Copies of this chain bind each other. A is one copy, B any other.
Amino acid sequence: MSKSSKASTIDESHQSKWRKKLYEIIFLSDTATGRAFDLALIGMILTSIVVVSIESVSDLPQWIYTATRITEWGLTVVFTIEYVARILALRHPRHYVLSFFGIVDLLALLPTYLALFFAGSHYLIVIRGFRLLRIFRILKLFRFMGEANLLYNAIRSSMPKIIVFLITIINAAIISGTILYLIEGEASGFTSIPRSIYWAIVTMTTVGYGDISPTTPLGQTIASIIMILGYAILAVPTGIVSVELAQAQNAGRQSISCPACSKEGHDNDAQYCKSCGHALERIQGENNDNGTGI
């Protein structure tokens, strides 16, 4: 038993080493092999999306459809192996399996298999597009991650304002859509209230397809008012994002921390900690310093 236990330990240590290596390749991107793996993966995801896109085009020669079908199956097999490898590389894979990327990775495999039973379902393969979000992991290498974080923070912290704004917009679309429905009637395409609300959204976002457009003088007058007011209203999210971005960018600058209470986020011209009143120590320097002054 002592022997078998020893063997088990050796085996485990061996397995652990192998798992660690696999983990490094698949989950980390700061080693040469890890980076190569990530780039290859993104290349394959892009290929698989392009392949499905081509397949949806009609009137191509038959051999193209054959080629796309083969590529699609080949890539699906590779992705299946990759998915299994990811699970094997982790000692406790449950966390990964239930994470956002774990679910996306699984969902991205299913369409091809499902297409065996349900025709057309393999188009769902474009869910692989979400896997491209991994690209942000690689971008980290090129120092873009900070920028992405900045954007993400700016958008997240402006969420409450944007929700208030969306409620206002939808309210306005419902009311103005119905008004146009009552004025215009069936002739010019305002055949029902939901369709008129769709028109109102198309107009207020300044997309303006023109598939539905008012034809009566009164309808055109009210539509003009909606456009101008709509435009003024839509200036709001731009303003929100600008202000949040400006603040997020300033936040990065305020990197000085108090030597007494290590509070951060002081203004650029602050001389005393705003939290405990201790004098701040500033270094003579550039921007992104984490130094220790004087």
* A contact set with B: CB distance below 8 Å: 49, 52-54, 56-58, 120, 123-124, 126-127, 129-130, 132-133, 135-136, 139, 143-144, 147-148, 150-151, 154-155, 160-167, 169, 171, 174-175, 178, 181-182, 191-195, 197-198, 201-203, 205-211, 213, 215, 217, 220-221, 223-224, 227-228, 230-232, 234-247, 249, 265-267, 269-279
Contacts and interface: CB of A to CB of B under 8 A. Distances in A.
A259 to B, nearest CB: 13
7 nearest interchain CB pairs? A270-B274, A272-B277, A209-B210, A207-B208, A239-B241, A239-B242, A126-B178
A154 B175 CA distance: 24
B135 A160 contact: no
A167 B220 contact: no
Query: Quick one: copies of this chain in the complex?
Result: 4
A interface SS class = helix
A166 B238 contact: no
Contacts of A209: 208-210, 213
Given A148-B164, A275-B271, A175 B129 contact: yes
5 contacts: A194-B217, A202-B227, A205-B227, A207-B208, A239-B241
B171 A147 contact: no
Nearest to A53: B193
Contact of A210 (B194, B211, B246, B278): B211
Contacts of A271: 274-277
A278 B274 CA distance: 9
A75 B207 CA distance: 36
Nearest to A188: B211
Given A175-B130, A207-B203, A144 B163 contact: yes
A164 B139 contact: yes
A174 B21 CA distance: 34
Given A164-B148, A241-B238, A246-B246, A267 B272 contact: no
A143 B160 contact: yes
Contact of A123 (B178, B230, B234): B178
Contact of A237 (B194, B221, B231, B273): B231
Contact of A245 (B243, B269, B275): B243
A227 B201 contact: yes
A125 to B, nearest CB: 9
A235 to B, nearest CB: 4
A174 to B, nearest CB: 5
Contacts of A181: 56, 123
